[in-house]
């Protein structure tokens, strides 16, 4: 169910906060669909594997809520193992009560009955529907008899089989979801549960299972049974994208009344490595403290307090204690993690064990436990950092205060200072990546067009357009007589980057042809320097950049041994000093600023819309199905919409709708070419965007199997709701190869809308 107002039952996040997981949720629900297709087929077991805190638990809870709210042909069951209840009898009683109360609540469509799990079984039984009363009593009686006979193993088997038995009596399918499964390792439940995976209570045609927990121990839990592995479906849960975490952070901050800014939201996403738990902890701490997160220093203060004494710190304390129970082990673990974090690269296991200050066999056992909990990585005799930047900050601060002997306030001040310096570098890195992506996309659109020369000559541009509005600039560019004829670029290569205080740069080589003739004589090389500096580029920095560019130009030699035609293009965020500009002019090098990239992209878009090589007012774009590719589509849509004179609000709506359409097309596509095809068409009064793939429709189509289990409309409801709210008309179209989504935005909404 994708209703934004659906009841939260077990979920901890509001539905709108938990997004970008539709494909994984569908993969879990497919376990039910396949189980219902053929009752003779073996029971399916889904393993949800992923890094810590990527949302595996929340995903299962979300699945439970959707199935419960649907109240259709599949009954959901959820159980999270607890360390305090791992003895066989305690586990069996708790698990059986939970499953019983969930079944009764589902059949009554009353989620409040789930809270009755702590009541005696007879009390829960009384709430059952009349038609379920007798069958539920039989299962309860069997469980009670095993308890009276003091048979814990039988109690465990009956508890695990309860969902299948309940579902069988009610002619339903059952989806049994279990969390924290790694806790059973080393307990009496280990052999009981892992043994029943191959036969017994977990082998029912009415039930399918989804298990999750820490991935490394969970994989070890599965016995090496070939037949069992044929029934296992691995569902990989990847870390979410920046845009999704930023959307979650904004929604949570708005709901809790915490003021934020776009730059702080972006910083949080980068510094917290797109982690939902860390992000929610920061927002919650700001809300409880009544502080805003509008500036970097406000965020870093809250972050430092959370890492040292807040929920994040307590969570990491607990994670470390699970691996290092003894105080001596805790110190040894801090020494080990601090060493490998400081090294920043794999360290030999022997060297780490020696640093830990405990016997070698105990050190190796401790490192193995830290590895299982993904606090470090141990592979082939080397130990590496986990890659969690928050854990790194936590360990550094703990090591300073508890091992190096620095007072905690001083350790906190040092961490705050480090994060403030790091935050600027982090945001500059993100900004640079965005500009680099824009430049590469722009170069790929070079196709023999003729463009205004002032876009490649900053001095001339300043003479013509200083203080002029953007509309006047666009008109002036159309009237310019001096032109630059672009080549057709066929390949763009990243040459790496460099930096010095106040300046950093990225270099690219773009190979192509001039004049529309593909001969060696017409081959051309553009070498581009993309420069981010606080001040106009000075001549000394220019000299260092030229030293890096020259080898790339020299390496481009044609078959005849003659150096191919090379063009230098320098793009500097803050422009150029007078001396640097003069030097570049004498070298006949192109000179632009970041704003010129926007204008050039805008100009090429308008040329494409009005070009004679395509039908008037149509433009096509094909992007790969890969992370953040939808941002390329959004950027293109922005240029097209701006060229068509849409207002800024409409442009933002178009971009958001297109991103949503591309994400859905990517998540639900099984297209062999792994591409999303888009067409932009400008009519007299509207922009029409068509997004198509060559796989399935954007979600499951009507008429697929097991409609009684899940309504097929649900798989694409969330994205479609957003798109329809933003665009004026939205239609699905079937094609022989897949499906199309056609979205229309009017310059002015029609009166009948």
CATH of the domain at 36: 3.40.50.300
pLDDT surpassing 90 at residue 660: no
pLDDT surpassing 80 at residue 196: no
CA distance 119 to 701: 43
Name residue 210's beta-bridge partners. 46, 177
Same domain, 79 and 184: yes
Confidence of residue 409 (pLDDT cuts 50, 70, 90): low
Do residues 485 and 524 make contact, with C-beta atoms less than 8 angstroms apart? no
In a domain, 571, yes or no: yes
Same domain, 509 and 620: no
Name residue 450's beta-bridge partners. 485
Lowest pLDDT segment from 3-7, 167-171, 322-326, 493-497: 3-7
In a domain, 306, yes or no: no
Backbone φ/ψ region at 243: left (φ over 0), alpha (ψ -120 to 50), beta: alpha
422-440: average pLDDT: 70
Same domain, 338 and 353: yes
Which residues touch 43 (CB under 8 Å, ≥6 apart)?
Answer: 35, 202, 203, 204, 205, 207, 208, 209, 231
What is the end-to-end Cα distance of the chain in Å, rounded?
28
| Percentage of the chain modeled with pLDDT above 70 | 82
Do residues 223 and 193 make contact, with C-beta atoms less than 8 angstroms apart? no
CA distance 259 to 739: 41
649-655: average pLDDT: 88
Query: Which pLDDT belongs to residue 331?
Result: 92
Lowest pLDDT segment from 36-40, 115-119, 401-405: 36-40
Same domain, 452 and 593: yes
Same domain, 578 and 611: no
CA distance 727 to 730: 7
Query: Which pLDDT belongs to residue 358?
Result: 92
**How many CB atoms are closer than 10 A to CB 444?**
14
CA distance 314 to 304: 13
Lowest pLDDT segment from 263-277, 483-497, 650-664, 714-728: 714-728
Same domain, 225 and 125: yes
Pull the structure tokens for residue 559.
Answer: 């078959």
Pull the structure tokens for residue 655.
Answer: 């971009």
Confidence of residue 550 (pLDDT cuts 50, 70, 90): confident
* Of 515, 549, 556, the residue nearest 529 (C-alpha): 549
Pull the structure tokens for residue 134.
Answer: 């007798």
pLDDT, averaged across the chain: 82
Which residues touch 711 (CB under 8 Å, ≥6 apart)?
Answer: 1, 70, 72
Instruction: Residue 535: give the domain boundaries.
Output: 438-600
Confidence of residue 685 (pLDDT cuts 50, 70, 90): confident
Q: What CATH code is carried by the domain that includes residue 348?
A: 1.10.10.10
pLDDT surpassing 60 at residue 198: no
Query: Which pLDDT belongs to residue 613?
Result: 39
- What phi and psi values does residue 465 have, to the nearest 5 degrees? -125, 10
Same domain, 111 and 136: yes
CA distance 554 to 547: 12
Query: Which pLDDT belongs to residue 671?
Result: 61
Domain stop point among 577, 600, 623: 600
Query: Which pLDDT belongs to residue 195?
Result: 57
Query: Which pLDDT belongs to residue 189?
Result: 82
Q: What CATH code is carried by the domain that includes residue 740?
A: 3.30.565.10
Query: Which pLDDT belongs to residue 457?
Result: 93
308-332: average pLDDT: 91
Strands, sheet with 565-572, edge to edge from the N-terminal-most edge strand: 488-500, 503-513, 523-533, 565-572, 590-592
pTM for this entry: 0.62
241-269: average pLDDT: 87
Do residues 315 and 308 make contact, with C-beta atoms less than 8 angstroms apart? no
Q: Which residue has the higher pLDDT, 674 or 508?
A: 508
In a domain, 287, yes or no: no
Query: Which pLDDT belongs to residue 711?
Result: 36
CA distance 510 to 470: 29
Alpha helices, DSSP H only, in 535-647? Answer: 539-554, 578-586, 594-610, 630-643
Query: Which pLDDT belongs to residue 456?
Result: 95
Query: Which pLDDT belongs to residue 619?
Result: 74
Same domain, 698 and 644: yes
Query: Which pLDDT belongs to residue 154?
Result: 92
Same domain, 40 and 27: yes
Q: Which residue has the higher pLDDT, 615 or 436?
A: 436
Query: Which pLDDT belongs to residue 714?
Result: 43
In a domain, 550, yes or no: yes
In a domain, 169, yes or no: yes
Tell the residue number behind the tokens 């805003």, with chain if given.
292
194-219: average pLDDT: 73
* Of 300, 365, 379, 374, the residue nearest 337 (C-alpha): 374
Confidence of residue 601 (pLDDT cuts 50, 70, 90): confident
pLDDT surpassing 50 at residue 596: yes
pLDDT surpassing 50 at residue 42: yes
Domain stop point among 202, 237, 272: 237
Q: Which residue has the higher pLDDT, 426 or 70?
A: 70
Query: Which pLDDT belongs to residue 368?
Result: 93
In a domain, 307, yes or no: no
Lowest pLDDT segment from 130-144, 260-274, 671-685: 671-685
In a domain, 417, yes or no: no
Pull the structure tokens for residue 638.
Answer: 């922005």
404-417: average pLDDT: 65
Lowest pLDDT segment from 60-64, 147-151, 542-546: 542-546
**How many CB atoms are closer than 10 A to CB 259?**
13
Same domain, 593 and 616: no
- Count structural domains, the chain: 4
Do residues 100 and 115 make contact, with C-beta atoms less than 8 angstroms apart? no
- For the chain, helix (H) and strand (E) counts, in that order, are 27, 20
In a domain, 554, yes or no: yes
pLDDT surpassing 60 at residue 717: no
Helices 389-402 and 408-444: angle between axes, nearest 10 degrees: 160
Which residues touch 106 (CB under 8 Å, ≥6 apart)?
Answer: 68, 71, 75, 76
Domain stop point among 405, 428, 453: 405
Q: By three-state DSSP, how is residue 524 classified?
A: strand
The per-residue pLDDT for range 331-351, each reduced to its tens digit, is 999 999 999 988 878 999 999
The per-residue pLDDT for range 49-66, each reduced to its tens digit, is 999 998 899 999 999 999
Same domain, 27 and 171: yes
CA distance 591 to 461: 10
Pull the structure tokens for residue 428.
Answer: 């500059």
Same domain, 45 and 158: yes
């Amino acid at each position: 169910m994708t209703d934004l107002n659906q009841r939260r039952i077990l979920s901890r996040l509001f539905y709108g906060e938990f997004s970008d997981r539709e494909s994984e949720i569908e993969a879990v629900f497919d376990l039910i669909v396949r189980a219902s297709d053929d009752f003779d087929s073996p029971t399916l077991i889904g393993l949800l594997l992923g890094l810590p805190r990527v949302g595996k638990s929340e995903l299962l809870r979300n699945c439970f809520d959707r199935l419960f709210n649907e109240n259709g042909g599949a009954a959901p069951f959820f159980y999270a193992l607890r360390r305090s209840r791992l003895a066989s009898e305690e586990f069996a009683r708790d698990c059986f009560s939970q499953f019983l109360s969930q079944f009764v609540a589902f059949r009554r469509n009353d989620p409040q009955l789930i809270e009755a799990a702590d009541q005696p079984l007879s009390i829960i039984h009384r709430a059952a529907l009349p038609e379920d009363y007798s069958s539920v009593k039989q299962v309860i009686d069997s469980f009670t008899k095993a308890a009276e006979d003091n048979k814990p193993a039988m109690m465990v088997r009956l508890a695990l089989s309860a969902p299948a038995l309940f579902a069988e009596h009610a002619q339903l399918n059952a989806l049994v979801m279990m969390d924290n499964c790694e806790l059973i390792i080393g307990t009496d439940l280990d052999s009981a549960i892992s043994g029943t995976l191959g036969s017994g209570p977990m082998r029912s045609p009415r039930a399918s299972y989804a298990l999750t927990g820490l991935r490394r121990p969970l994989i070890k839990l599965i016995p090496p049974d070939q037949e069992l592995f044929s029934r296992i479906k691995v569902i990989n849960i990847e870390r979410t994208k920046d845009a999704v975490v930023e959307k979650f952070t904004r929604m949570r901050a708005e709901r809790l009344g915490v003021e934020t800014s776009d730059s702080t939201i972006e910083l949080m996403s980068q510094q917290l490595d797109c982690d939902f738990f860390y992000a929610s902890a920061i927002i919650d701490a700001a809300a409880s403290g009544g502080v805003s997160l509008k500036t970097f220093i406000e965020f870093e203060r809250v972050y430092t307090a959370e890492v040292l004494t807040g929920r994040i710190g307590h969570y990491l304390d607990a994670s470390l204690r699970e691996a290092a129970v003894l105080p001596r082990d805790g110190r040894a673990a801090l020494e080990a993690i601090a060493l490998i974090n400081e090294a920043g690269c794999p360290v030999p296991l022997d060297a780490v064990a020696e640093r830990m200050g405990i016997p070698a066999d105990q050190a190796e056992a401790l490192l193995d436990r830290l590895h299982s909990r993904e606090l470090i990585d141990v592979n082939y005799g080397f130990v590496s950092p986990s890659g969690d930047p928050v854990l790194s900050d936590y360990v550094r601060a703990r090591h300073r205060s508890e091992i190096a002997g620095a007072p905690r306030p001083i350790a906190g001040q040092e961490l705050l200072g480090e994060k403030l310096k790091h935050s600027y570098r982090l945001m500059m890195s993100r900004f640079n990546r965005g500009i680099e992506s824009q430049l590469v996309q722009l170069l790929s659109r070079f196709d023999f067009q003729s463009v205004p020369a002032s876009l490649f000559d900053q001095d001339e541009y300043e003479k013509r357009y200083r203080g002029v509005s953007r509309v006047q600039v666009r008109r002036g560019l159309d009237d310019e007589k001096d032109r630059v004829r672009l080549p057709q670029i066929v390949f763009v290569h990243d040459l790496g980057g460099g930096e010095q205080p106040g300046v950093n740069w990225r270099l690219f080589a773009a190979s192509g042809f001039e004049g529309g003739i593909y001969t060696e004589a017409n081959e051309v090389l553009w070498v581009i320097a993309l420069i981010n500096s606080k001040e106009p580029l000075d001549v000394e920095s220019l000299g260092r950049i030229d030293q890096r560019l020259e080898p790339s130009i020299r390496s481009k030699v044609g078959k005849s041994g003659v150096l191919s035609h090379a063009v230098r293009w320098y793009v500097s965020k803050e422009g150029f000093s007078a001396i640097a500009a003069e030097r570049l002019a004498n070298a006949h090098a192109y000179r632009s600023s970041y704003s010129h990239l926007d204008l050039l992209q805008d100009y090429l878009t308008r040329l494409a819309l009005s070009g004679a090589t395509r039908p008037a007012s149509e433009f096509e774009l094909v992007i790969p199905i890969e992370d953040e590719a939808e941002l390329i589509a959004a950027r293109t849509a922005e240029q097209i919409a701006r060229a068509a004179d849409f207002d800024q609000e409409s442009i933002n709506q178009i971009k958001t709708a297109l991103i949503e359409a591309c994400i859905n097309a990517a998540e639900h596509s099984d297209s062999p070419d792994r591409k999303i095809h888009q067409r932009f068409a400008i009519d007299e009064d509207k922009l029409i965007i068509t997004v198509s793939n060559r796989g399935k429709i954007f979600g499951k189509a009507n008429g697929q199997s097991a409609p009684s289990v899940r309504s097929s409309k649900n798989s694409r409801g969330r994205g479609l709701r957003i798109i329809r709210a933003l665009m004026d008309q939205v239609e699905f179209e079937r094609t022989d190869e897949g499906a199309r989504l056609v979205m229309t935005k009017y310059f002015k909404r029609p009166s009948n809308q």
